[in-house]
Amino acid sequence: MQFTHLDDKDLLFYSRHILLPNIGIEGQQKLNLAEVTIFGLGGLGNLLSTYIASSGVKKINLVDFDVIEDTNLQRQINFSSKDIGKLKVNIIEKTLKEKYPDIGINKYSEKIIKCSQAEKIIENSDIVIDGTDNFEVRKIINKACLLKNKKLIIGAVEGYTGQLMSVISNKSACYECVYENLTDNNSCSDTGVLAPLVGMISSMMAIECINILTGNKSSYENKLLVINGLNISVDVLSTKKNISCKTNCVKFI
Domain ranges of the chain: 17-252
Residue pair 140/112 in contact (Cβ under 8 Å)? The answer is yes
Residue 226: what residue type?
V
User: What's residue 2's pLDDT?
Assistant: 45
Q: In angstroms, rounded to a whole number, what is the distance separating the alpha carbons of residues 198 and 66? A: 18
CATH number attached to the domain at 17-252? 3.40.50.720
CA atoms within 13 A on the CB side of 34: 26
Maximum alpha-carbon separation in the chain = 53
Quick check: helix, strand or coil at residue 201?
A: helix
User: What's residue 113's pLDDT?
Assistant: 96
CA 242 vs CA 178, 190, 210: distances in Å: 8, 30, 28
| Tens digits of pLDDT across the chain (253 residues) | 444 478 889 999 999 999 999 999 999 999 999 999 999 999 999 999 999 999 999 999 999 999 999 999 999 999 999 999 999 999 999 999 999 999 999 999 999 999 999 999 999 999 999 999 999 999 999 999 999 999 999 999 999 999 999 999 778 899 999 987 766 555 555 678 999 999 999 999 999 999 999 999 999 999 999 999 999 999 999 998 888 888 877 665 5
Pairing, β 233-238 against β 223-228: antiparallel
What is the CB neighbour count within 10 angstroms for residue 98? 8
Q: In angstroms, rounded to a whole number, what is the distance separating the alpha carbons of residues 114 and 121? A: 12
CA 68 vs CA 47, 109, 150, 158: distances in Å: 15, 13, 29, 19
Q: How far apart are the first and last CA of the chain?
A: 31
In 3D, which of 250, 249, 224, 63 has the Cα closest to residue 143?
Answer: 249
Q: In angstroms, rounded to a whole number, what is the distance separating the alpha carbons of residues 155 and 47? A: 12
For the whole prediction, is pTM greater than 0.85? yes
DSSP H stretches of helix in the chain:
8-13, 15-18, 24-33, 43-55, 88-99, 115-121, 135-147, 175-178, 188-191, 195-213
Residue pair 128/150 in contact (Cβ under 8 Å)? The answer is yes
How deeply is 24 buried, as exposed, middle or buried, from its count of CB atoms within 10 A (0-12, 13-18, 19+)?
middle
Residue pair 45/53 in contact (Cβ under 8 Å)? The answer is no
